Structure 1
Amino acid sequence: MNNAVTLVPSDQIIVVYSDGEITAGEISCALFYANSRLLAMHLYVDKSFATAMPGYAENFYTLMQWEMETFVTPFINISFLSRCSATIPKLLHNVIAILVVHKLVDRQPDVNEVLMEIKALPLSVHSAASDQYDIARMPDYFNAWWKENLGSCRVPDMLPKSSVQDVMELVEGHFSELPDHVETDLLPYMLTLGLRAVGNFAEKDDKLFTFK
């Protein structure tokens, strides 16, 4: 069995859908955007006294699931179904692991424990690739729910519907605002995707996804 990994060009189209197409590089950029949102959330929550309020952990857990379903899961699924192996940034990887493990162990996870484990994740200020704090403090993250007083919020009102196209537009806007040093230094590792096998991928109804 040949387990060799062939790098996929960043401009290779991975999926075509009704409103457009997504390349390998855009998948990595989307995951980097999700990681940047989580870093902003982590920095804020880490210093917030509101996390101790009644009801905060429950709302935090609900909104974190929304975060994953909106900005992460679709792109990981696309990578899996197209046999691409996308690089997942460290913080995003750790948050996914916490949510998945708790869900596997208990169908009704302890939301307070989930919040505490996410708050306890290390925040490294030593990065050879970028100033992570600059990225996290970029203005105007879409639905920056972590800045709200979650203990007294109506969470259903904070869960807007977002299509893949909506997310890709947010990602494009995010990258256009990145400081020059961040954009230049991060691109080499962000666009590292491996194609595990060569093959023909199933074509779906063009209203859904077509894998290239």
Structure 2
Amino acid sequence: MSNPSQPDLTYFTILDATNLLEYATSHFAAIWIACDRSHIPRSPGYISSFVQRLQWEANTFVFPYTNICMVLNIHPTMPDLFHSIIGRFSRLQTRNTTGEQFFNEFFQYCSPHDPQLRSTRRVVTNYTHDWWKDHFDMLGFALPSLNVNEVMDMAIDHFEQLPLGAMLLPGPVVANRFDGAPLLNQILAVKARVQHLSDSLARMLQEKIKMAAEAASIMSQHEGPMDELEEALLNTLRS
């Protein structure tokens, strides 16, 4: 992407889309968990401010990339939580539901605690523009307008913060991309992802083998003293 304000979507692959949508999913999960645990009274002003800010989340981290995916004819998998939220946003935008109804449905039907989602493995310590940690209902609605590059950088930072063993892993760097060939670039992205996973698995197996060898070495070092202790105990019982 040569120009941050006008990104070159030739280099936007299905891997980029998947990472960004997963990042957005973790955002919504973090918001849901933090606000659900909050004891702030849910006044009409609070609900209105919350819906406005959640709309900013959707306009910043969701809709631009779903539109890009449609233009480039790529279809990344959308988690159940994300799918549920987008469906309710669509109802809100078409005025088939009110802001208060949307707020109630968000906390009633969009729970990120589904065991299949394991959203707590997607939530990290620090998010940029984490408005839900502040008294957002008492603050002015001044949230920034972000471009594709800035959001991708934020997504990369998110993946780097994920705990060991998390479901989401930072994607590999895709080299040798071709201008004007989005399908070929998607294939290269998938190939890079498979190679990345293969290398990760190989490293994990090597670490396990090393740990097993170290454990066997320690056991062999203690085998002699244990035999001597066993013999001493047997002699004590015989005497």
* TM-score by shorter chain over 0.5: yes
Cα distance change of structure 1 residues 92 and 77 upon mapping to structure 2, 3 Å threshold = same
On the 8 A contact 2:10/2:181 being kept in 1, the answer is no
Instruction: Work out whether 1:171 is the aligned partner of 2:159.
Output: no
Cα distance change of structure 1 residues 110 and 146 upon mapping to structure 2, 3 Å threshold = same
Amino acid at match of 1:35: T
**Equivalent in 122, 141, 154 of residue 140 of structure 2:** 154
Structure number with the higher helix fraction is 2
Instruction: Work out whether 1:115 is the aligned partner of 2:107.
Output: no
- Residue 34 of structure 1 corresponds to 24
Q: Any residues of structure 2 matched to 1:10-21 within 5 Å, and which? A: 17-18=7-8, 21=11
1:85-106 Cα shifts (integer Å, max 9, x gaps):
1211111111111111122244
Q: CA deviation at 1:26?
A: 1.2
Amino acid at match of 2:106: I
Instruction: Work out whether 1:63 is the aligned partner of 2:35.
Output: no
Q: Any residues of structure 2 matched to 1:185-200 within 5 Å, and which? A: 185-186=167-168
SS in 2 for 1:120: helix
Q: Any residues of structure 2 matched to 1:41-120 within 5 Å, and which? A: 41-50=31-40, 52-106=42-96, 109-120=97-108
On the 8 A contact 1:31/1:71 being kept in 2, the answer is yes
1:70-98 Cα shifts (integer Å, max 9, x gaps):
11111111111111112111111111111
Cα distance change of structure 1 residues 169 and 20 upon mapping to structure 2, 3 Å threshold = farther
On the 8 A contact 1:76/1:86 being kept in 2, the answer is no
Amino acid at match of 2:119: Q
Structure 2 Cα separation of the partners of residues 57 and 174 of structure 1: 27
Q: CA deviation at 1:68?
A: 0.6
1:155-210 Cα shifts (integer Å, max 9, x gaps):
1x2x112111100000111112222311xx446xx9xxxxxxxx988xxxxxxxxx
Q: CA deviation at 1:53?
A: 2.6
Structure 1 gap segments, 5+ residues each: 1-15, 191-198, 202-212
SS in 2 for 1:49: coil
Cα distance change of structure 1 residues 167 and 20 upon mapping to structure 2, 3 Å threshold = farther
Cα distance change of structure 1 residues 139 and 200 upon mapping to structure 2, 3 Å threshold = closer
Structure 1 Cα separation of the partners of residues 10 and 162 of structure 2: 24
RMSD in angstroms over aligned alpha carbons? 2.7
Q: CA deviation at 1:18?
A: 4.4
Structure 1 Cα separation of the partners of residues 39 and 103 of structure 2: 13
Q: CA deviation at 1:48?
A: 1.8
Matched residue pairs, number? Answer: 168
Structure 1 Cα separation of the partners of residues 164 and 29 of structure 2: 19
TM-score (norm 1): 0.70
On the 8 A contact 2:92/2:99 being kept in 1, the answer is no
- Residue 135 of structure 1 corresponds to 122
Structure 2 gap segments, 5+ residues each: 1-5, 172-179, 183-239
Amino acid at match of 2:104: M
SS in 2 for 1:160: coil
Structure 1 Cα separation of the partners of residues 59 and 112 of structure 2: 23
